[in-house]
Structure 1
Amino acid sequence: MPQAYHQDSSTEPQVIVIPFPFASHAAPLHTLVRRLATEARDVTFSFFNLAESNSSISALESEDLGNLKAYNISDGIPENYVFTGKPHEDVRLFMKAAPETYKRAIRAAIGDKKISCVISDGLLSFFAAEMAEEMKVPWIAFWIPASFTLCTHAHTDLIRSTIGIPIDGREDESLNFLPGMSEFRVGDIQKDIVSADFDLPVAIAAYRMAQMLPRAAAVVINSYEELNPTITDYFKSKFQKCLNVGPFTIMPSEPSDSDQNGCLLWLDGQKARSVAFASFGRALSPADHEIAALAEALEASGVPFLWSLKKSLWAVLPDGFLERTKARGKLVPWAPQVEILVHPAVGVFVTHCGWNSAVESVMGRVPMICRPIFADHFLNTRMVTDVWRIGVRIEGGVFTRDGTTRALDLIFKDEKARKKMIEKMGVIRETMIKAIGPGGSSSENFKTLLELISNHEA
């Protein structure tokens, strides 16, 4: 490989951070790096990300760290490019240009300063690993979802050869041929893995990631060892270091002052455990007809609700919905989810069941109504509904007025079922808190990561 990096002899550690700048991937990696930067003040962390993603993160962070610097990179879209309308076209263009995009950005920002380590989102392993090897420094790969989702990616070839493609008729079969996955089902697997069309950019990146991870100096996971000890042991046997250091979302952080829509003040005026909170993350949302059906169910149920919904989707709500429900409902384009889920007025979380959302719901001891949309949502939903038993899956997998109303009734009117869910969440919550607390598994793994990052001779 041609020599692309000419570094000086400085011994001050300089860590390059390469997030995947789409959906909600960049923020958790930034959270981890902020904590590393706080603990390792003599190490400089350079965070290379799309401008829009950097802006959304900085708007939520209030602590100014002199050794954590953000740099904007190109989105990889050629000048005067005309989009064809193909799915994930922007991601595909970004991924194609990414190796050169990051190299140029790093050279411009860092110059000849000695780089001591490269941390990347696992989805960018296909070039980050080689970049680190070219620099002769450790590469650390970061996985944002739970450990069980990484397990499926690590066994993509085995899954496809064992169950066959397509999977029609086998959705309810157990994944007991994978370590630690017997309680999950074939139908829960990420659709990219079991699709006959294996050409989506993220699917390709995840497949290549699984092949590259054994080369990483450490694989860092936003999870905790006690979640699934069998999978933890498996990864420890396969990777040089497997460091579960999460869940990040429950780690201490600066209080948010970004409740510009007055959600918390509104919740203060509601009865305890009475409000349905609905939110579906930053990436994909349910189809328009499902959004309308959810609105109809919220109206028919009579339940007070707080709904975080993209402004562009307000137009699909039933005519007159906002006017008819204004006395007991609040619709906003964005809401401070972490603070909302620990508010005593919230009684249920209607969610896509992303990993961070599931963890945040556990921390607030708020039962979930799950409508998985894509990626790891289906595995997380199985964990929530069948393993942890702290929520319900929406009937038929899609929002309908009647099915959603029945789910709301189960949570709000079946006191016995509700009490059991809250008790179970209390136990799970304590396990998570113990993991990130003094002497906990995640805390000890974080110390190991900090030592690796801070090693001037790395």
Structure 2
Amino acid sequence: MVKAELVFVPSPGFGHLVSTVEMAKLLIDRDPHVSITLLIMKPPYVSHSGIDDRTRSLANSMAARFRFVHLPDVGPISETNPSKTRDLYVESYKPHVREAIARLTEPGSGQDSPRLAGLVVDMFCTTMIDVANELRVPSYVFFTSSAAFLGLMFHLQRQRDEQGIDSTEFRNSDTELDFPIFANKLPAKVLPTAYLVKEAAPAYIGHARRFRETKGIFVNTFAELEAHVLESLVDDMIPPVYPVGPILNLTRSTGGPGPSNGLEIMKWLDNQPRSSVVFLCFGSRGSFDADAVREFATALERCGHRFLWSLREPPPKGKVGTPRDYANLEEILPEGFLDRTVKIGKVIGWAPQVDILAHPAVGGFVSHCGWNSTLESIWFDVPIAGLPLYAEQQFNAFEMVVELDLAVEIKMEYRRDVRIQSETRVTAEEIERGIRQVMEIDSARRKKVKEMSEKSRKALDEGGSSCSSLRRLIGDIFNNMPR
């Protein structure tokens, strides 16, 4: 049988790379005639050593049919608009992608060598569709967020192109919007940040236009979770959508950076009763100012639940960067908080999130509603209390809380994004209410989360919905191969 080579082009950055690797694993594990090459772009403003070390560890764990190709550096991009910077940076890699593919496909590799079956581009790398067109091979999109967000992107693009509707006009609006992807009206306040910012919205509209040119879209979701949304995406103007998730990296971490030690955290959890601990964690970019930290601390003391709180220090004001662990937690927490809560709580920095969610002591998850975190919470049967911060997290929270009734709300329209000038605050009362609701042991919502958790695992089993979708996808990849 003919062997097919797929070339993946993930967005620069380790987070997108990990998801892409998990997607590639699914493909090569499902069919021995598929091989994968990943073309790695160096993230801007990141040193070589960190990325190289982590990608090398990923590469060492892969099969022979799985290759990493590190592309050469490109020069700095002189652009102040963050959305344009990312797109221009990816665009500047086009010559390197062409050259890398030319080397992969040069003649003389042997009769049994795989044939190039297509390019799989990240949702933010749609400019690479041009390379696929030049090579006259199919292109596909790997969409790392929800099917609902994909549907929203298509809908807003169509509204912009056919009706001239500009989504940025909904900023600070109380309007409720009708979308075919949802049964409920969507408050404009929970639209993804990019669609409310004039500097960012055109790029997202452009990505959705390019999606329509491809042969298919792989989505990190499963049919049982987003059934209504996936039905709305069956459209002659939209390429086939393949729900192949949940695509998760479930590798356990026993240690981490800074003073937070994974082994110590797990030992503490081992001493807590089953489903008694609420876990507070807000992703790799999640942090809060001193006022919000006080509100969280007040809420945790009032509700009295056992807690494990991943508290990170934000980068200095006006500086771009990721949060880090506090050198001294007492400086940010209310006076005496650690002493008063020593018997019921633990405040940490970095958190081994997968390990913690998998632990039987954890009964609730106060989360930013990033899509990966949302899928992990479902997989491990841990209900979410949603406090979104940026990107499409407000939209994810709406889907989970209102559409699917699988989560509770702390504050859906809360944002921590410098591009949205907003004085929205979160109060101790809102946080306490959310924690109390998510920790209700016998709630109907908790039972629904448990049922969805079981469905998420069955989806990936032989004969499950995502397994069947993956098989259909592989068949279509071979059918679409250039003859």
Q: TM-score, normalised by structure 1?
A: 0.82
Q: Does structure 2 conserve the Cα–Cα contact (< 8 Å) formed by 1:76 and 1:94? A: no
**Could you tell me how far apart the structure 2 residues matched to 1:106 and 1:46 are?**
13
| Comparing 28-37 and 444-453, the one that deviates more | 444-453
Aligned residue number for residue 435 of structure 2: 408
**Could you tell me how far apart the structure 2 residues matched to 1:217 and 1:223 are?**
19
Aligned ranges 1:297-316 → 2 under 5 Å: 297-310=299-312, 312=324, 314=326
**Could you tell me how far apart the structure 2 residues matched to 1:384 and 1:456 are?**
35
Aligned ranges 1:66-85 → 2 under 5 Å: 66-73=64-71, 76-78=74-76
Aligned residue number for residue 419 of structure 1: 443
Which amino acid in 1 is paired with 2:390?
A: F
Distance 1:322 1:159, change over 3 A: farther
Aligned residue number for residue 132 of structure 1: 132
Distance 1:246 1:451, change over 3 A: same
**Could you tell me how far apart the structure 2 residues matched to 1:288 and 1:448 are?**
51
Q: Does structure 2 conserve the Cα–Cα contact (< 8 Å) formed by 1:73 and 1:102? A: no
Distance 1:374 1:436, change over 3 A: same
Share of identical aligned residues, percent?
A: 23
Aligned residue number for residue 37 of structure 1: 28
Aligned ranges 1:52-67 → 2 under 5 Å: 52=50, 55-56=53-54, 63-67=61-65
**Could you tell me how far apart the structure 2 residues matched to 1:273 and 1:17 are?**
40
Aligned residue number for residue 243 of structure 2: 244
Q: Does structure 1 conserve the Cα–Cα contact (< 8 Å) formed by 2:174 and 2:187? A: yes
**Per the alignment, in what secondary structure is the counterpart of residue 29 of structure 1?**
helix
Q: Does 1:95 align with 2:87?
A: yes
Post-superposition offset of 1:71: 3.1
**Could you tell me how far apart the structure 1 residues matched to 2:293 and 2:72 are?**
34
Stretches of structure 1 that go unaligned for 5 or more consecutive residues are: 1-10
Aligned length: 430
**Could you tell me how far apart the structure 1 residues matched to 2:58 and 2:134 are?**
35
Q: Does structure 2 conserve the Cα–Cα contact (< 8 Å) formed by 1:24 and 1:283? A: no
Q: Spell out, residue by residue over 1:345-400, the C-alpha distance to the aligned partner (whole angstroms, 9 max, x if none).
A: 01210100112212222222222211111222112111222222233221573433
Aligned ranges 1:2-21 → 2 under 5 Å: 13-21=4-12
Aligned residue number for residue 431 of structure 1: 455
The Cα RMSD (Å) is 3.3
Aligned residue number for residue 39 of structure 2: 48
Q: Does 1:442 align with 2:466?
A: yes
**Could you tell me how far apart the structure 1 residues matched to 2:433 and 2:179 are?**
35
Q: Please point out which of 323, 333, 338 is paired with 1:318.
A: 333
Q: Does 1:215 align with 2:213?
A: yes
Q: Does structure 1 conserve the Cα–Cα contact (< 8 Å) formed by 2:98 and 2:131? A: no
Q: Spell out, residue by residue over 1:153-184, the C-alpha distance to the aligned partner (whole angstroms, 9 max, x if none).
A: 112245565686532675352x3343445353
Which amino acid in 2 is paired with 1:116?
A: A
Distance 1:240 1:389, change over 3 A: closer
Aligned residue number for residue 379 of structure 1: 395
**Could you tell me how far apart the structure 1 residues matched to 2:340 and 2:64 are?**
50
**Could you tell me how far apart the structure 2 residues matched to 1:44 and 1:207 are?**
32
**Could you tell me how far apart the structure 1 residues matched to 2:191 and 2:5 are?**
38
Post-superposition offset of 1:66: 2.0
Aligned ranges 1:179-218 → 2 under 5 Å: 179-195=181-197, 197=198, 199-200=199-200, 203-218=201-216
Aligned residue number for residue 265 of structure 1: 267
Q: Spell out, residue by residue over 1:410-438, the C-alpha distance to the aligned partner (whole angstroms, 9 max, x if none).
A: 334x55xx521211112322333343332
Post-superposition offset of 1:98: 2.0
Q: Does structure 1 conserve the Cα–Cα contact (< 8 Å) formed by 2:148 and 2:181? A: no
Q: Does 1:117 align with 2:118?
A: yes
**Could you tell me how far apart the structure 1 residues matched to 2:167 and 2:128 are?**
32
**Could you tell me how far apart the structure 1 residues matched to 2:365 and 2:446 are?**
13
Post-superposition offset of 1:53: 5.1
Distance 1:457 1:363, change over 3 A: closer
Aligned residue number for residue 96 of structure 2: 104
Distance 1:138 1:98, change over 3 A: same
Distance 1:283 1:301, change over 3 A: same
Q: Please point out which of 355, 358, 365 is paired with 1:339.
A: 355
Distance 1:77 1:158, change over 3 A: same
Q: Which has the higher helix share?
A: 1
**Could you tell me how far apart the structure 2 residues matched to 1:358 and 1:112 are?**
37
Q: TM-score, normalised by structure 2?
A: 0.78
Aligned residue number for residue 16 of structure 2: 25
**Could you tell me how far apart the structure 1 residues matched to 2:338 and 2:379 are?**
30
Aligned residue number for residue 4 of structure 1: none
**Could you tell me how far apart the structure 2 residues matched to 1:54 and 1:143 are?**
24
Aligned residue number for residue 5 of structure 1: none
Stretches of structure 2 that go unaligned for 5 or more consecutive residues are: 43-47, 107-115, 257-261, 314-323, 415-424
Q: Does structure 1 conserve the Cα–Cα contact (< 8 Å) formed by 2:184 and 2:403? A: no
**Could you tell me how far apart the structure 2 residues matched to 1:325 and 1:59 are?**
39
Aligned residue number for residue 170 of structure 2: 167
Q: Spell out, residue by residue over 1:35-70, the C-alpha distance to the aligned partner (whole angstroms, 9 max, x if none).
A: 223334454322223354565466579833222222
| Comparing 403-412 and 364-373, the one that deviates more | 403-412
Post-superposition offset of 1:123: 1.4
**Could you tell me how far apart the structure 1 residues matched to 2:346 and 2:59 are?**
25
**Per the alignment, in what secondary structure is the counterpart of residue 443 of structure 2?**
helix
Which amino acid in 1 is paired with 2:467?
A: S
| Comparing 321-330 and 14-23, the one that deviates more | 321-330
**Could you tell me how far apart the structure 1 residues matched to 2:149 and 2:156 are?**
11
Which amino acid in 1 is paired with 2:30?
A: E
Distance 1:379 1:283, change over 3 A: same
Q: Does structure 2 conserve the Cα–Cα contact (< 8 Å) formed by 1:293 and 1:399? A: yes
Distance 1:103 1:138, change over 3 A: same
